[in-house]
Each structure stands twice: as structure tokens, then as C-alpha cells.
């Protein structure tokens, strides 16, 4: 089991792309073994300049499954939607 941290900052000029990306990305992610653990938004920033507004914790069966998700041809196809819909996206494997 491996946990993944995803941080996101929406682009208000890319709402249509964002909606399409979310619809398609979740299905691909889930087919690669992902489970939602937690979804949060920043309530109050106390220190630093962390720009991301939304945080997700995902759980995958293995690191290989995380990498399969990100290299899935269907996922690669929607990366332009992601890049238009979000100003910033990070995906990190947690230890």
C-alpha cells in the first residue's frame, strides 16, 4: 500500500477544461487502483506561500500502480485539459 499527495490550484479561466478533466481523470485513476482517502482545502495559511488550494490523499496498491496511472495513454491524452484547468498540480509519493 502506498499513499499519494496531490495538490491542486484551480485556474478560474479554465473551468470547462477542469470539468472535463475531472470527469475523465477519476475513471482512469480508479482503474489503476486508486482509492480516495481524504480531500481538503486550505482553510488558513499560517506560514509560507503554498499556492495550492486543494489537497487530496490517495491510496494505491503499489508505487508501480501510481506510475501506471500517470503513464496511462488515456491519462496522457487529458494532460492538456489538466494544464488548462489547474494553475499548479503536484503528485508526490508519501513515505
pLDDT the model gives residue 46: 84
pTM over 0.85: yes
State the Cα torsion 40-65-67-48 to the nearest 10°: 20
pLDDT tens-digit profile of 9-65?
A: 999 899 999 999 999 999 999 999 999 999 998 888 888 876 768 999 999 999 999
- pLDDT for 92 equals 97
- List CB contacts of 65: < 8 A, sequence separation 6 or more: 2, 32, 33, 34
For residue 11, give the nearest of 72, 52, 62 by alpha carbon. 52
Please answer whether residues 41 and 54 qualify as being in contact, where contact means their C-beta atoms are separated by less than 8 angstroms: yes
- Per-residue cell: 9: 490550484
Amino acid at each position: 500500500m502506498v499513499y499519494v499527495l496531490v495538490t491542486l490550484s484551480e485556474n478560474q479561466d479554465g473551468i470547462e477544461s477542469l470539468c472535463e478533466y475531472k470527469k475523465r481523470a477519476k475513471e482512469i485513476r480508479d482503474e489503476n487502483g486508486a482509492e480516495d482517502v481524504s480531500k481538503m482545502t486550505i482553510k488558513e495559511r499560517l506560514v509560507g506561500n503554498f499556492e495550492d488550494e486543494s489537497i487530496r490523499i490517495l491510496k494505491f496498491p503499489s508505487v508501480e500502480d501510481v506510475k501506471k496511472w500517470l503513464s496511462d495513454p488515456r491519462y496522457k491524452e487529458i494532460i492538456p485539459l489538466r494544464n488548462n484547468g489547474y494553475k499548479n498540480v503536484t503528485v508526490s509519493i508519501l513515505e
